[in-house]
A and B are shown apart, each in its own frame.
Chain A
Amino acid sequence: MSDVALLADASPHRSSARGGRLARRLLHDPEFWIGAVIVAFFVLITVWPSSIAGIFGHGDPRECDLRFSRLGPDANAGHPFGYTIQGCDLYASVVYGAANSITVGAVVTAGTAIIAIALGLFAGYFGGWVDTVLSRISEIMVSVPLLLGAVLVLNSIETRSVWAVSLVLIAFSWPTAMRVMRTSTISVRARSFVTASLSLGLPTWRILVSHVVPNTIGPVLVLATLQVGAVISTEATLTYLGIGLQAPALSWGLQLSQAEPYFSSAPHLLYFPAGALTLAVAGFVLLGESVRKSGFHSSNAA
């Protein structure tokens, strides 16, 4: 939700850094390392949850016994986070819950970037009515606040999968990045190497792919890395509101919304998923921040 602000800060007018210096700067940034380690950890448990889930106990989030409902953490019994409402191992549930959040984060970010790059490129490069139409559409989409739009659409979908939630988030998130792409494309189009290629008679698609895109996608990619965290947070929010993923899906948002009524009697139900969610979002934000600070975008676009 905050990508607009981050974008304002990522506009291409900052001090430039060339490739090697860029990498060196990143590698010397503790924020980058902290973020990278956290992100790597969550990617690992997304791809291979059983590696981590089974450390303490049976590691199966579906092996439940109602009689243990909401019991607190008991490390000796192999349940360091305690039990869920349904009497399952909360630790395993939190570990397996990562997959949905990370998948939505990745799919939405990739989808948004692809759509934004394609549409921004067309609008910026061809101008005229293509630009007018695409810009108006993006303005319409951007004026519907993300959460309101998502409530409207998701409410009408009966069975909401990770993909459905992702699609809706993409539909309402692309305009910001598309406008960034459009702006940088306009500035690049007027540059000498593009006009030179045009006069050489190169086909449009080659100019776009080999000259325009490499020089314009920097800011969009920075925006994308900054966006992952916000997307994960938004998915949890939608699920919490009852319009995201549905039980028995394993999802932090779902775990949080179910835990809320039991806050005073079983606070562990809320602390652990909230902690995991916050940590994951923080990891992606740190990573995105360090990439932004390194001046990656300007090295390409400037």
Chain B
Amino acid sequence: MHPIANRLIQAAVVFFGTSLLVFLAVFALPGDPLGSLAGDADLTDTVRKNLEERYHLDQPVLVQYGLYVWGLLQGDLGTTVTGEDVANIFANAWPITVQLALTAWIIELVAGIALGATAALRPGGIFDRIATSVTIVTLAVPTFVLAFFAQQVLGLQLGLFPVAGASAGWPVAFVLPAACIAALGIGPIARLTRTSVLQTINADFVRTARSRGITPQRLYVRHVMRNALVPVVTYLGLDLGALMGGAVLVEGIFNLPGVGRALFTAVNTQQGSVVVGIVTAGVFVVLVANVLVDLLHRILDPRISHV
């Protein structure tokens, strides 16, 4: 079979496996998906029975899953028990999270590569040591602690950024929360960049290029950086999951109405269709990103064999 077709089939298997897994996990949650509806009261039996019929809650879980997938194949993402269209929730939430994740990506990429590439210029030098310390600090401070301090100090006390909500628009409303998510990625990217820059500098083709008299700047940018970026790109693909995890936290703290917040609410309120939808969509994004990373790899480093 063609390797790309093979890979796509594998991705499809993983995709449906994950959605079933999530569906079962959601179904296993104790509590009552209808419980949230009545607020400070309880539902009457008649209302409950009607709602259960309407949302197929009276069916076995596998039937529910089947109905869900059937709807999905027809482009219907389902509705929540409050009658909200899941597609609508997605339409509202995804743009926020995509902006957040892209901003975080840009921040960690720029900061990480700058830090790593500079550190690699003189290994063991003062800047290298500073870069190492920064790396360790960013890994050691938990995201929620960082987010909270950033919000209180930079947002509230210094008034540099909005402290909650997305209404100020991109980039102002997103810089602070994105930076908090990105902090965790800066360290690894800096270190990856540093290591691979050092490795590439010593590689044969760079030595050859150097002996041919190519200017150091040109050499660094054209040859060294290009090759050194391969593991960084891999990392960025794999890091998507962590970005989404960070989004759950940071969207809550900064009140950004994105996917992470929607997911957390949906888990608490047992909105199975929303949870399954969001997590499988997240998985879908991760899978697509990994395929893209593969492709980018081939462009950046032709030596990678096409397996």
Contact = CB atoms under 8 A, between A and B. Distances in A.
Touch between A and B in complex, CB under 8 Å? yes
24 contacts: A8-B192, A9-B195, A31-B132, A136-B10, A140-B17, A143-B14, A143-B18, A143-B241, A144-B282, A147-B246, A147-B248, A147-B249, A151-B267, A152-B25, A152-B26, A156-B28, A229-B140, A240-B142, A240-B144, A279-B140, A281-B142, A282-B139, A285-B140, A286-B136
Interface stretch (B42-50, B210-218, B231-239): B231-239
A237 interface: yes
Contact of B29 (A155, A229, A236): A155
Contacts of A278: 140-142, 145
B188 A5 contact: yes
Tell me the interface secondary structure of chain A in the complex. Answer: helix
A146 B246 CA distance: 10
Nearest to B137: A282
Given A5-B191, A148-B245, A281-B142, 9 more contacts: A2-B187, A31-B132, A143-B14, A143-B18, A143-B287, A144-B283, A152-B26, A236-B144, A278-B140
A241 B248 CA distance: 10
Contacts of A155: 29, 267-268
A21 B35 CA distance: 64
Contact of A263 (B26, B152, B191, B263): B152
Tell me the interface secondary structure of chain B in the complex. Answer: helix
A194 interface: no
The bracket for how many chain A residues form the interface is 35 or more
Contact of B248 (A31, A139, A151): A151
Interface residues of B, number: 56
Nearest to B235: A5
B14 A144 contact: no
Contacts, number: 146
B242 A144 contact: no
Contact of B242 (A143, A145, A281): A145
A298 to B, nearest CB: 13
A4 B287 CA distance: 16
Q: Which of B136, B239, B283 has the most CB of A within 10 A?
A: B136
A152 B142 contact: no
Interface string A231-261: 0010011001100000000000000100010
